[in-house]
Chains A and B, each alone.
Chain A
Amino acid sequence: MDRAILSDIELRTTTGRLYYYGSMAVLLAIAVVVLFPFVYAFTSGLKGSTEIFTSGLQLLPQNPQWENYTTAWNKFEIAKLFFNSFVIVSVGVFLRLSISALAAYGLSRLKPMGGRYLMMLFFITLMIPGIAYLVPLFVTLKDVPILHISLLESYWGLWLPYAASAFAIFVLKNFFDRIPTEILDSARIDGASQLQILLRIVLPLSRSILLILAVLTFMDLWKDYLLPYLVITNPQYQPITVRLFYLADSNHGVNLQMAAAFIALMPPLMIAILLQRFMKTGVTMGSIKG
């Protein structure tokens, strides 16, 4: 059943075994290379500040300095950086899903006039790479048209760009399109308003896709560097991606840098391992967006 190129019978022959264990050896070797930076950051973070420069091939510390991790945690103010990132990203995810779900429901169920043209307008933003309008986006955020306020140094300057995702709208619209009309019609006849239908019927039915989108968006936004680097320059409010690199770049012991980097790498790794099911579906779904 689970055969691929090689069959179970072939696997019992010498050549079959050679192919199989050869493949496994290659995969394991690559896995070691892939995981190496994480392991290296962890063990280097345990080394003394001079030992780290002389250890050469020695991966493990002679005398593990666990206090490096608490020092790094305090010195780089990692708790605050995590908190900043968390606020930026979770509100970003919430806004993106809300706005996209509303728009997708409107497009899918309420048949707005000119809906086809709206879809095209949304689609354009998928076709044009973000760099094409990064500079004018910055200028726009600096001086919002009509209102003439600046969104720089404010989380809104990140939340609004993060909220706009044509990909999320299309994915949700596709999903909503497939919900049988009868369910929604009967709710209409019972007197439910469109908003109630969306909140109490459509969204609960779309839990799986919303969860996948949420996880995918969360990981995506957590990684973002350039936009927060441009928009938030006050170190008190910068996310971890921006601030930690800056701090590591200025003078701190390399062992502390490694310890801090390892701590900072942990949350995304944990999420990826725990929620791998959703990420897998999400990534293969995301490949269609190209």
Chain B
Amino acid sequence: MRLTLASPMKPPVPLRNDWVSRVRYHLSRQFAAYLFLLPALLTFALVAWYPITQAIQMSFQDVRLAGESTWVGLKNFELMGKDPALGVIWANALQFAVLSLTMGYGVPIFLAILIREMRNAKGFFRVVYFLPTVVPISIAVIVWRFIFDPDAGFLNSFLKVFGVEAQKWLQDPNLVKPSMVAIMTWAAFGTTTLIYLSSLQEIPTELYEAAELDGAPPLARVRFITLPHLAPIMSLLLILQVMAVVQVFTEPFLLTKGGPGRATLTPVLHIYNRAFLRADIGYASAWSLILVVALMVFSLFYQIINRRLSAD
């Protein structure tokens, strides 16, 4: 070993077996351990642990950025109940979740199975599908906004060939959510496809061989071998997708500012508006708290139901 190192005078391990040097050894080791951990502890304290405790505290306060904040008990939560946007926001979140599951949940599973089947060009598809996931969404929406443009956009010109009338994709309250979910799916499905694909590689080919010998047609092999193998990861990715979509912010923020009307006002966008446009920090914190609790309750319920179902 090429170690040109410090003085060999002090042996790192105690030679004498007396307790003084033992204690000293352990203390110095503990000291070293915490010295190594110190940068992480300080950083996490500043940007994670302290803000998390503050998030809870501020939910019960009227927060003043300059001067003292005052405790207001449950007032922020009471105000939330009277917030005229409350129902709309949760309905939007729910619709976004349902839309993204119907439009995007099956796609990566289907594509991963097809890619796994390819004898060559696997790598090509893997890379191509992955590309949208690496580009910043704030840049991609510049392009998407123009594709969706009612007058000059490509989508309307394309649909005109099939006799479809020009649509206002991002301005029509009925179309804006599916349009946005299409962008979100484009931006995210590459990651999930890769995850499914790597799970598919683990299936021993002997299983397919045996099924083939038993006379099971290809679709039956998908039904009885492929899908059961993917089931656990499918269930995990389902909940991760719902959690991610309920927290969507960048797309509605950049494309519509929550509009038209309140059609794309999502929980996080509302939190942003309240905290940074209206300086209503206590109220925004209360919203964040409720959002996180809602997500956690949802994932807990999901896991319980999931376990029940798989136990049957």
Contact = CB atoms under 8 A, between A and B. Distances in A.
Interface residues of A, number: 118
Nearest to A146: B46
Given A5-B117, A164-B48, A190 B5 contact: yes
Nearest to B182: A33
A258 B140 CA distance: 10
A30 B130 CA distance: 12
B243 interface: yes
Contact of B40 (A23, A102, A132, A226): A102
A84 interface: no
Contact of B46 (A107, A160, A264): A160
Interface string A253-274: 0100110110011001101110
Interface residues of B, number: 111
21 contacts: A4-B208, A34-B190, A57-B158, A99-B39, A106-B32, A107-B37, A110-B32, A121-B44, A125-B52, A135-B58, A135-B285, A187-B1, A192-B6, A198-B36, A241-B138, A254-B146, A257-B146, A260-B142, A280-B130, A287-B237, A290-B237
Interface stretch (A37-45, A63-71, A205-213): A37-45
B194 A53 contact: no
A34 B48 contact: no
Interface string B204-227: 010011001000001001100110
Given A27-B111, A225-B137, A287 B254 contact: no
Interface in A1-47: 1-7, 10-11, 19-20, 23-24, 26-27, 30-31, 33-38, 40-41, 44
Contacts of A180: none
Contact of A225 (B117, B119, B136, B240): B136
Contacts of A55: 152
A290 B302 CA distance: 15
A257 B191 CA distance: 28
B203 to A, nearest CB: 8
A225 B198 CA distance: 30
A217 B311 CA distance: 38
Q: Which of A53, A98, A110, A230 counts the most B-chain CB atoms under 10 A from its CB? A: A110
Nearest to A45: B143
Contact of A23 (B52, B63, B118): B118
Given A135-B288, A139-B54, A190-B1, A129 B247 contact: yes
B36 A265 contact: no
B139 A261 contact: yes
Interface string A125-155: 1001101111111111111110000000000
Give 8 nearest A-B pairs by CB, closest first: A106-B36, A110-B33, A103-B40, A112-B33, A136-B54, A133-B51, A56-B157, A136-B51
A244 interface: yes
Contact of A34 (B132, B146, B295): B132
A4 B54 contact: no
Given A30-B111, A106-B33, A112-B30, A164 B40 contact: yes
A31 B125 contact: yes
B118 A269 contact: no
Nearest to B140: A37
Given A34-B129, A53-B152, A241-B138, 13 more contacts: A4-B208, A27-B118, A37-B143, A129-B295, A133-B52, A136-B55, A190-B5, A194-B36, A226-B249, A245-B138, A261-B139, A273-B131, A280-B126
Q: Which of A36, A134, A279 counts the most B-chain CB atoms under 10 A from its CB? A: A134
A251 interface: no
Interface in B1-51: 1, 3, 5-8, 12-13, 29-30, 32-37, 39-41, 43-44, 46-51
A193 to B, nearest CB: 6
B97 interface: no
A37 B32 contact: no
B184 interface: no
B94 interface: no
Interface stretch (B70-78, B98-106, B172-180, B268-276): B268-276
A290 B236 contact: yes
Given A133-B54, A241-B138, A284-B195, A20 B117 contact: yes
Contact of B271 (A23, A100, A135): A135
B124 to A, nearest CB: 8
Interface string A90-118: 00000000111011011100111101001
Contacts of B119: 2, 11
A125 B48 contact: yes
A231 B160 CA distance: 44
